[in-house]
Amino acid sequence: MRAIWIYIFVALSSFSAFAQEIKNPVSQTEMEKIYQEVKTPYKYGLVMVPTDKDHKMDCPTIFRKGKDWYMTYLIFSGRGYETWMAKSKDLLHWENLGKLMSFEDSGKWDDNQKAGYNALLDIKWGGSYQAKTFDGKYWMSYFGGKEKGYEVEPLSIGMAFTTKHPSIVQEWNRLAKPVLSSLDQDVRWWENRNKLFKSTVIEDKSRLTGHRFVMYYNAVGDSLTNNKKTRWYERIGMAVSDDMINWKRFQKNPVVHHPVGITGDAVIQQIGKNYVMFYFGAFWQDRKGSFNRFAVSKDLVNWTDWNGDNLIESSEKYDELYAHKSFVLKHKGVVYHFYCAVNKQDQRGIAVATSKDLGKSKVNFVQ
């Protein structure tokens, strides 16, 4: 028992080192209303499964063109991450189309890691979910690295672009250098461990941040306990840009975080006047497992965290190890919550849960 109280005290001390009173908070009544709107109690099951046991699927991003839906996602093959794409007409049955960012042997900074996420999507809840352009280009942010293996540092954030519609299978062009890295002069104390991960880029149409574009990204960095650096955790922070190429960090501290474990992979939807950040947590509820949750903001900067039930957590054979990494949308009155499902054999696929009972998927992992 004494050890537990010591752990709680250390965790709270770490949290208080950078915790601030939330400005412009969202009321509990609004939070509950949003929870009732976005909850997806019906697990449909797996919709994307690797055909190779050594491949692992991760991090879905969904957009739409006409009547068709497209999913970009990651595959880890042992060498590193590549970005792929699939197509669907009903959000439940998906056809793999091919790769968008592939491994190289060119000596570049991102030869062996290219984990991409479509940028500038329509974030209106129940909206078009179309990909928008800036400067005549479609954009994708990604984390990249030169080392082979599973998330081997250093990992930095880059930007890719294309003048063709992102629904077309193509190798995307990439900027020559990262736009954010742990070597930047403005790197924050909470992202100083050479690992910057998933990023989500949206347009701030109302200029709530004073800039046109906002990036939410998670990174690994130190914690502070009594003003001393301790072990690492993972948290979500912000960067801003006016041209999609030059980015600068926004605020000194992370915007969504918890005293321990991982808080990561933000995806934004606008529901009425509120912005909803879907994210995943890991290893801070009973210090085990992963789960999908949300926070809400009125200004894209200050976020009120939901303190109720998880949106997604492990409950089925296909997600009994991990259930995490959201992409949530609403279409024709149904909420679809896509997520990465991992079983105890560490097989990874893409699953979906819905707000209405649509039956069960017959797709299973390869045995």
Q: What is the mean pLDDT of each run of 10 residues along the chain (367 residues)?
A: 32 40 85 98 97 92 98 97 98 98 97 98 98 98 97 96 98 98 93 93 97 97 63 89 98 91 96 97 86 98 97 97 97 98 96 98 86
As a whole number of angstroms, the distance between CA 338 and CA 183 comes to 33
Question: How many degrees, rounded to 5, is the angle at CA 262 between CA 252 and CA 224?
Answer: 45
The tally of domains found in the chain comes to 1
What phi and psi, each to the nearest 5 degrees, are found at residue 188?
-90, 160
pLDDT of residue 52: 86
Q: What size, in residues, is the chain?
A: 367
Residue 179 lies in a domain: yes
Count the alpha carbons within 13 Å of 13 in the hemisphere toward its beta carbon.
Answer: 13
Asked if residue 157 is part of any domain, the answer here is yes
Asked if residues 138 and 144 have their Cβ atoms less than 8 Å apart, the reply is: no
In a domain, 278, yes or no: yes
The answer to whether position 361 is within a domain reads no
So what's the pLDDT on residue 12?
37
Closest CA to 358 of 44, 37, 130: 44
Closest C-alpha among 198, 205, 44, 34 to residue 117: 198
Q: Can you give the pLDDT at residue 45?
A: 97
pLDDT of 363: 92
Query: Per the domain annotation, does 360 fall within a domain?
Result: no
Q: How far apart are CA 249 and CA 216, in angstroms?
A: 10
Nearest-CA neighbor of 57 among 354, 343, 367, 360? 343
Question: Distance between CA 18 and CA 20 in Å, rounded?
Answer: 6
Q: Which two tokens stand for residue 128?
A: 């078009």
> What whole-number distance in Å separates Cα of residue 263 and Cα of residue 102?
28
Please indicate, yes or no, whether the overall pTM of this predicted structure exceeds 0.85: yes
> Looking at residue 3, what is its pLDDT?
34
Residue 22 lies in a domain: yes
Positive/negative CA dihedral, 144, 194, 117, 203: negative
- Residue 115's domain is classified under what CATH number? 2.115.10.20
Residue 118 in tokens? 């479509």
301 burial via Cβ count (<10 Å: 0-12, 13-18, 19+): middle
Q: What is the pLDDT of residue 9?
A: 32
Tell me, yes or no, whether 43 lies in a domain. yes
Task: Assess whether the previous peptide bond of 154 is cis (omega < 30° from 0).
Answer: yes
User: Is residue 342 within 8 Å of residue 57, measured between CB atoms?
Assistant: no
Q: Is residue 322 part of a domain?
A: yes
pLDDT reported for residue 227: 59
| CB neighbour list of residue 128: distance below 8 Å, 6 or more residues apart | 64, 122
d(CA 86, CA 286): 36
For 154, the domain range is 2-354
Q: Look at residue 341 in the predicted model and tell me its pLDDT.
A: 98
Q: Map the chain to HEC letters.
A: CHHHHHHHHHHHHHHHCCCCCCCCCCCHHHHHHHHHHHCCCEEEEEEECCCCCCCEEEEEEEEEECCEEEEEEEEECCCCEEEEEEEECCCCCEEEEEEEECCCCCCCCCCCEEEEEECCECCECCCCCCECCECCEEEEEEEEECCCCCCCCCEEEEEEEECCCCCCCCCCEECCCCCECCCCCCCCHHHCCCEEEEEEEEECCCCCCCCCEEEEEEEEEEEEECCEEEEEEEEEEEEEECCCCCEEEECCCCCECCCCCEEEEEEEEEECCEEEEEEEEECCCCCCCEEEEEEEECCCCCCEECCCCCCEECCCHHHCCEEEEEEEEEECCEEEEEEEEECCCCCEEEEEEECCCCCCCCCCCCC
